[in-house]
Each structure stands twice: as structure tokens, then as C-alpha cells.
Structure 1
Amino acid sequence: MNLKLKGKHAIVTGASKGIGKGIAQSLAEEGCNVSICARTQSELQSATDELRQTGADILAIQADLTRDDDIEKVVTKTADAFGSIDILVNNAGTIGQSGTFEGTPLDEWRSLFELNVFAVVSITRKVIPYMKKQGWGRIINISSENGTQPYPDMIHYSASKGALDNFSKALSKQYAEQNILVNTVSPAFIMTPLVSNMMEKAADEQGVSKEEAIESFLENNRPHIEQKRPGTIDEVGPVVAFLASDKASFINGSNFRVDGGSVASV
């Protein structure tokens, strides 16, 4: 399918690896010019080299999105390089440390919300004027199954993603008449480098193979993933690319679950 994204200009945050890089890859393959940002320069450079093989114009910006001046830098440099900003994908985020409610310090809540919620609000505020000026924009926020189906050992992360889902829905109502559409994509148990490391750690702790640790996690923690496997990065990016296109011009305020059915509710 030709999504007709050639010549569009996108920002993808947290795009040096994992789902973010996969999203940038999908957009680049559709002809988008893509600005990517992340905190680690070496990972950012590696991702840039790989993404440029698509033939797309890739702009890499080292940034910590918990800093307002870095957010300003990402937006300004992107606009200067590309001339406009058509698509914003808010992917950067953190899961924090798992634990009980009483065992999770308040500072950990603040740190997690700073990146998962407030950074999204801040960069979105700076990008929307460009979209309003041209009368076209797509904002896709990367949430999680946890925003809909919270887990007690990830209570602060679940709360932050619930806040992101709510923010996305409310924002979608404010700018739709200006052809700025806002949607959410919520992956679950995608085999990113982070999840892979978590499964390797679980395998070591249980004295089993990584494959057995994954099987055990699926059975005990994600029983509603009926495919009985983790998702792949390549199964997320194309959904985002579709939502960024005019093929999705009547989709607004929706939450697309890329979770293999993990969320048990309708």
C-alpha cells in the first residue's frame, strides 16, 4: 500500500533502538524525512546509519526530553532542516523499577511521569503551531497495554500510560477541525532489546533457557496473548505509518492495541 507519505516530515522521539527505531524505519520506507532523537549519541549514530539506507533524509539530534531546552532544540532543528513538521511520534519513555506501591519512592513516580507524560505535553505544545499553520498534522503517542490494563507491580508506569491515553483522547478533540489528528498505539510484550534483556535475566534467575522463560511469562503474566509468542518491532511500525497517513483521515482519538489480544476487555 502506498501511504503517500513521501515528502512528509516527521519527528520520532526515543528512536535510537527498539520500537522507536522500528517506527522511524517504517516512516522512512514510506518516503518520510525523519528526525530522530535519543540520549545516547553512539546508539543514535548507529540508528541513523541504518535508517539512511532507506534513502530517506534522516536528522539525528541528541536530546534528553526531560529538559525543556533539549525539546526546543529538537523542534527547532527539525523545522530548520525540513521546513515543516507534519508528524510527531511520541515514543520516548521509561518503565521504571517494578515493585509495590509502598516500596516505590515518590521521586521515582516524578521521574517516570516527567518523561512519559510531561515531555510528551511539552514537545506537542511546540509542534502544534507548525501543524496549525499548514492545516495538517498527525500526532501518534506510543502508550502500552498498561494504560488500559494496569498491573500492580508496575503501578506508576501503568498510571503514566493511563494519563497519556487520556491526554491523547482530550487533545484529539481540540484540533480535529484543523486537520490535526491524534491517536494512540499501545503495544504489549514486544521483543525489544529491553524486553529481551528482561527475559534473559528471568532465565538466569529461574535456571532455565530464555525460550522457557518467555513461555513461562506468557502463561503466568500475559495469558490472553493467544499466539503464545511476543510481538515483534516490525508489527508496530507499520501501524504508526498508517495512522500518519491520509489513509487514516477519519481515525481520531483512537487507541490501537498491538498486543496480540493481551488486554482482556473489549
Structure 2
Amino acid sequence: MDLNINDKTVLVTGGSKGIGKAIAKAFAEEGANVVICSRGIEELNNTKKEIEEMGGNIHTVQADLTKQEDVDYLVSSAIDRYQKVDILVNNAGIASGFDDFESIDIEEWKSLFDVNVFGTVRVTKAVIPYMRKNKYGRIINISSESGVQPDPFMPHYNASKAALINFTKSLSKAYASEGILVNTVSPAFIMTPLLEDMLKGLAAKQNVDFDTAVQQFLKENRPHVELKRPGTVKEVASTVVYLASEQASFINGVNLRVDGGSVASQ
């Protein structure tokens, strides 16, 4: 299947680790020009080296998406390097632990929304004019299962991911006539380094092996993951690449869940 993205330029926020890194590598494998950003320079450099060793074309920018000047520099740097941004993957996001509603103060709500929601808004606003000029664009926002099936904990995180899904739908209606398609990908229980570390800590605390800890967590917290295993970052990345390709040119405004059946509704 020819995805027809080998001449495209893709910008992946939060692209130096976890799901973002897997997305960046998947696009590089398809021959796209890849721009990634992150706050951590060491992780950026490591990912850059990995993709270059694959033969990929990559440009890295250290950026904090809560700062407008960093966002402006990120997008202008991508344009200076490749003259266009065809595909934007808004992946950057944070979580702040499994806290309950009453223990989360308003400043923590603001801080999380500033990254998860307003960071996405800032980058999208900066990129959209270039897509409109070229009458072509693909925007994929990375949300979460928690955006449609929230847990009783982390209400600020859950709400931020729900906001992204709604934001996606709004943009999909606003820009489709200009050749810009906007979709959401919502992963659930993906084995990122962050999840792996959490599960290793859980295994140590309960004095069980890692696989047992995984199954216990699934049973207690993700009982509807019908595949009874975590997803992989590659499974998320391949979904994102497909949505950005010409093979998905009639898909717009959807929330595509990569969740092993975890969301109990249709």
C-alpha cells in the first residue's frame, strides 16, 4: 500500500520519547521529513541520532509549548528548513499522577491544561496558515481513552483529553473545505516508558513479577481491554501514519481509539 507521504513534512510535538518518538520514527520510515520538539535536549539528541541512523531526515527543536515565543520559533524553524508543514501531530502532553479531585488545586489544573490543551491550540494556530496557503493539511491530535471513558481519579487530565476530542471535531468542520483534515487518535494502556516504570514500581511494591503486575493492573483498572495486554507504541504510530496518508483521505473528524476494546461503549 502506497501511503504517499514520502515527500511530506511532519511536525510531531513531544516527539523525543514514548508514543511521540514512535510516531516520528514511523514517519521517517515512510520517507517523510520529520520535525520533532521537546523540552529535554538530551532526549531530542538521542532520538535525532536514532532516526538519522535509520536514514531518516529529521530536524529537532527544543521548545516549551506553554511559551508562545517557543511555539513561533518551532514552526518558523520547520518552515525555514522544509518550506512547509503538511502534517501536524499534536502529541505533547503531561499527566500528574493518580490524584483525586479534592487533592488537586486550581494551579495544577491550569498547568496541565496549559500543556495538554493550550499547547495544542498554540501550535495548531501557528501551523494552520501554512496549510491553508497550500490548501492541504493533516492534523492528528493525540487524546486518550480517558477523554471518553474517564477514571474517578485525574479529573483534570481526563477533562483535558476530552477537550482535545471536541477541539478536533470543531476544526474538522472549519477547515475540511480547504483540504485540511483533522482527526483524533485515542490510545489506552500503551506500554510507554512511563507506564513501564509505573508497573515496575507496582510489581516491587506487591513483591510480584512484572507480568503479574500487568495483569493485576488490567483486572483492577482496565477490565475492558479485551486483548488482555498493553498496546505498543508502534501500534499507535501506525494508526497515526495511516490517518495522515492519502489512503485516509475521506476520514475527517473521527476519534480513532487504539485501545484493545477498553472503551466499553460503541
Do the structures match in fold with TM over 0.5?
Answer: yes
- Equivalent in the alignment of 2:150: 150
Amino acid at match of 1:152: P
- Equivalent in the alignment of 1:111: 111
1:55 Cα shift? 2.1
- Equivalent in the alignment of 1:199: 199
Q: Aligned ranges for residues 135-214 of structure 1 at < 5 Å?
A: 135-214=135-214
Provide the aligned C-alpha RMSD in A.
0.8
1:57 Cα shift? 1.3
1:245 Cα shift? 1.1
Equivalent position SS for 2:3: coil
- Equivalent in the alignment of 1:34: 34
1:54 Cα shift? 3.0
Q: Aligned ranges for residues 48-87 of structure 1 at < 5 Å?
A: 48-87=48-87
Aligned 8 A contact 1:147 1:159 in 2? yes
Amino acid at match of 2:82: F
49-58 or 26-35, larger mean C-alpha shift: 49-58
1:226 Cα shift? 1.4
- Equivalent in the alignment of 1:222: 222
Q: TM-score, normalised by structure 1?
A: 0.98
- Equivalent in the alignment of 1:264: 264
Instruction: Report % sequence identity.
Output: 55
1:172 Cα shift? 0.5
Amino acid at match of 2:264: A
Amino acid at match of 1:170: S
Aligned 8 A contact 1:2 1:30 in 2? no
Equivalent position SS for 2:97: coil
Q: Deviations over 1:129-167 (max 9, x none)?
A: 000000100000000000000011121100000011000
Q: Deviations over 1:187-241 (max 9, x none)?
A: 0010000000110111122221221111100111111111111001110111111
Equivalent position SS for 2:111: helix
Q: TM-score, normalised by structure 2?
A: 0.98
The CA distance in 1 between the partners of 2:99 and 2:13, in whole Å, is 27
The number of residues matched between the two structures is 266
Aligned 8 A contact 1:5 1:31 in 2? yes
The CA distance in 2 between the partners of 1:192 and 1:99, in whole Å, is 20
Q: Deviations over 1:70-101 (max 9, x none)?
A: 11111000000001110000000011122111
1:7 Cα shift? 1.2
- Equivalent in the alignment of 1:240: 240
The CA distance in 2 between the partners of 1:123 and 1:186, in whole Å, is 19
1:15 Cα shift? 0.7
1:56 Cα shift? 2.4
Q: Which aligned runs of 4 or more in structure 1 are off by greater than 3 angstroms?
A: none
Aligned 8 A contact 1:185 1:258 in 2? yes
